[in-house]
């Protein structure tokens, strides 16, 4: 009988994405990025995430300072504190980025999202959908004899809860804006 010789596996430091230690420390972070509103900026920001295999869970962009043509990009991503810090530093080096703020580190940040939720239903399910919508402060923005479209705003968890409750009633589809976030108090980013 011949003995098969095997090479020992090389020891690498654990990846924050694949190790149990790294996975247990993964947190969601909301980054607010102030940029010049010009062609290609969004592509460069998204390309930075893509090239490093970082996931973007939510992305919103809008011009916020019309006089100087600056836009705010709000990005929700997940990772260990070290990974998110690395992303933040890499974003700061991109031109034309003016500032990068991790709003998750600001205890007084506010996050909101808007969703439109289409639900099909007649009879009791229809009444149940209306009662739940009232409890969640969702507005009816369109109604037919067989369906509703609700508009709901709030933190992402509230919207997730509303959508989950509408599933058994007759959820048809959901359209979400993504997270918009801002820090509280008198100072800007």
State the pLDDT at residue 21. Answer: 46
Range 158-181 burial, b when 16+ CB lie within 10 A, else e: bbeebbebbeebbbeebebebbbb
| Cα–Cα nearest to 70, from 36, 33, 94, 31 | 36
Extract the tokens encoding 59.
Answer: 């992305």
Question: Each residue of 24-35: pLDDT tens digit?
Answer: 688 899 999 999
State the pLDDT at residue 15. Answer: 42
Q: Are 160 and 107 in contact (CB under 8 A)?
A: no
Half-sphere exposure (Cβ direction) of 31: Cα atoms closer than 13 Å: 32
> Is it the case that residue 88 has pLDDT exceeding 70?
yes
> Is it the case that residue 22 has pLDDT exceeding 50?
no
CA 166 – CA 169 distance, rounded (Å): 5
State the pLDDT at residue 124. Answer: 94
Quickly state the pLDDT bin for 188 (edges 50, 70, 90).
Answer: confident
Quickly state the pLDDT bin for 184 (edges 50, 70, 90).
Answer: confident
- Residue bearing the bigger pLDDT, 106 or 99: 99
- Residue bearing the bigger pLDDT, 22 or 186: 186
State the pLDDT at residue 37. Answer: 94
CA 94 – CA 85 distance, rounded (Å): 15
Half-sphere exposure (Cβ direction) of 166: Cα atoms closer than 13 Å: 31
Extract the tokens encoding 142.
Answer: 């369109």
CA 114 – CA 158 distance, rounded (Å): 10
Q: Considering the chain, what percentage of its residues have pLDDT values greater than 90?
A: 68
> Is it the case that residue 177 has pLDDT exceeding 90?
yes
> Is it the case that residue 19 has pLDDT exceeding 70?
no
> Is it the case that residue 81 has pLDDT exceeding 90?
no
Extract the tokens encoding 134.
Answer: 């009232």
State the pLDDT at residue 83. Answer: 86
What pTM value is reported for the model? 0.78
State the pLDDT at residue 12. Answer: 44
**What is the mean predicted confidence (pLDDT) over 164-180?**
96
């Amino acid at each position: 009988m011949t003995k098969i010789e095997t090479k020992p596996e090389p020891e690498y430091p654990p990846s924050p994405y694949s190790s149990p230690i790294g996975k247990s420390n993964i947190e969601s972070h909301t980054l607010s990025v102030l940029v010049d509103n010009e062609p290609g900026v969004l592509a460069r920001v998204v390309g930075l995430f893509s090239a490093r295999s970082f996931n973007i869970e939510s992305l919103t962009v809008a011009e916020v300072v019309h006089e100087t043509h600056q836009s705010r990009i709000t990005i929700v991503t997940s990772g260990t504190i070290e990974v998110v810090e690395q992303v933040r530093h890499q974003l700061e080096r991109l031109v034309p980025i003016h500032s990068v703020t991790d709003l998750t580190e600001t205890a007084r940040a506010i996050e909101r999202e808007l969703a439109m939720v289409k639900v099909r239903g007649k009879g009791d399910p229809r009444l149940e959908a209306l009662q739940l919508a009232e409890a969640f402060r969702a507005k009816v923005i369109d109604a037919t004899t067989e369906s509703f479209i609700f508009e709901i705003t709030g933190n992402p968890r509230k919207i997730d809860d509303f959508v989950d409750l509408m599933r058994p009633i007759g959820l048809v589809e959901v359209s979400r804006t993504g997270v918009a976030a801002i820090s509280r108090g008198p100072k800007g980013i």
